[in-house]
Amino acid sequence: MYKPLSKRPRLSFIAATLACARLMIMLLTVLLLVSCQPVSPRSALQNVLDDGVLKIGTIFGRTTFYYGNESPRGFEYELAQGFANYLGVEVQIYPFYSYQALMKELKQGRIDVAAAGDAVPDSVEQQYKLGPVYQQVSHKLVFLQGNQRPRNIDDLKEPLVVVKGSSNAHLLQQLNSSHPTLDWKTTDNKDTWELLDDVANGRLPYTLVDTNTLSLQRRQYPQLSIGFTLKRLVPIAWLMNQQQDDSLRAAVIEYFGSIQQTGIFKALEDKYFGHVRDFNYVDTRAFIESAKAVLPDYAHWFQQYATDVDWRLLAAMSYQESHWDPQATSYTGVRGLMMLTQDTARQLNIDSRTDAQSSIKGGARYVSNLLSRIPARIKSPDRLWMALAAYNIGMGHLEDARTLTQRQGGNPDLWVDVKRRLPQLEQKRYYKTTRYGFARGHEARQYVENIRRYYDTLLYLDENTDFLSARSAPAT
């Protein structure tokens, strides 16, 4: 039988419903108030750490970033990878073809850092947050040797062409006020390397270039000559978005301070630029001519026997030793393409030091032997440069130089530190404290640096020309 609810239960139900409604209103009010409070945004550094990814933009180029045969390479790439490791995050590299595209991405916050390897003119410095200055370069006007040398801006008779958006373009823009008749233009279709190629081959009268780029490019084009300097000691630094806080910038400053203190930056800079600072036009020109005319006769054997090193490095060693003359003999009695001593040839079972194939075979074996004797903790390329020094000066003298390095507070496992002490092996106050005594340390240091320069040139020739296409059958 249906019974209507009593009044008391009905009143309890209504009261309970109203109480629940009031509670819901209170909760909604609290949530609304909380949502209206300003939320502290994550810092720029915290964004990177939380996401686990560091996004770094750069420009394609030999000194910044490019894809090597096996992995990415470049001075800026290695600095970026090091910073990501320092933060404990993954690095994502965004290479661009133009400076303007790179700067646009930075301003819009789609990358964290711009590492273009380009100088930072005053007009750019005011628009971004800058990391610490880690290099300084000068801007040089270059022209083709043999043409009339321009000594100042007023001597320029034809338009000056530079890359759009680059520091060179910003510099010329600033010069417009003081030199309104200066004739210049920009291009977005070529990079600085191509403009230098055009100057070297007579297709362009002039361009501007920083000293880092010029030092490398003159190894391939010794005919590039300097007319005059437009601006000296312009800083190179990483750039960050002006609108973000200083947390990421502070981390960049800490990182560069760390690698400066540990010597990592010094070693990295030496790897890319240390061997090309000094330029010898006659030597570079002669090497390129020999690489095209003489090396093709022996390239086959360098390729065959270079098991532990790049064949082009072995060829560069041979040029330093003998200028690729199989009959070469020095006053010390070393002979052949690889200038082997009689004792070394005997140990390597080389019957004839003046036989080209045998000399290359023996030299390659000796390099492999030296590499195996360099302490395993020494990383590439330092172990390679030390092995080359030992090829010239002997393993005992190399160890003496490393001992001196350690005594003086340097790192005996870094070539950039060891090469500074090699000349001390010629000074009595130093060599009398070593195990093996006097050695021609200056010569050993120059020996390695020459080979590194020749090697750079061979890499360029082999990757960008067909200089080996005329190779005949191996010389006999």
CB 210 within 8 A of CB 275: no
Measured CA to CA in angstroms, residue 329 lies from 136, 316, 448, 471 at distances of 43, 18, 20, 26
* Separation CA 129–CA 179 (nearest Å): 30
CB 287 within 8 A of CB 312: no
The catalytic residue positions are 321
Say how many C-beta atoms besides its own lie within 10 A of residue 7's C-beta. 8
**Could you write out the DSSP letters of every residue in 414-459?**
-HHHHHHHGGGGGSHHHHTTSSS----HHHHHHHHHHHHHHHHHHH
- For the chain, the farthest-separated pair of C-alpha atoms sits apart, in whole angstroms, at 129
CB 144 within 8 A of CB 202: yes
CB 284 within 8 A of CB 218: yes
Q: CA geometry: angle at 31 spanning 28 and 32, to 5°?
A: 85
H or E, element range at 173: helix 167-175
Assign 357 to helix, strand or coil: helix
Say how many C-beta atoms besides its own lie within 10 A of residue 5's C-beta. 8
Which residues, in sequence order, are bridge partners of residue 186?
162
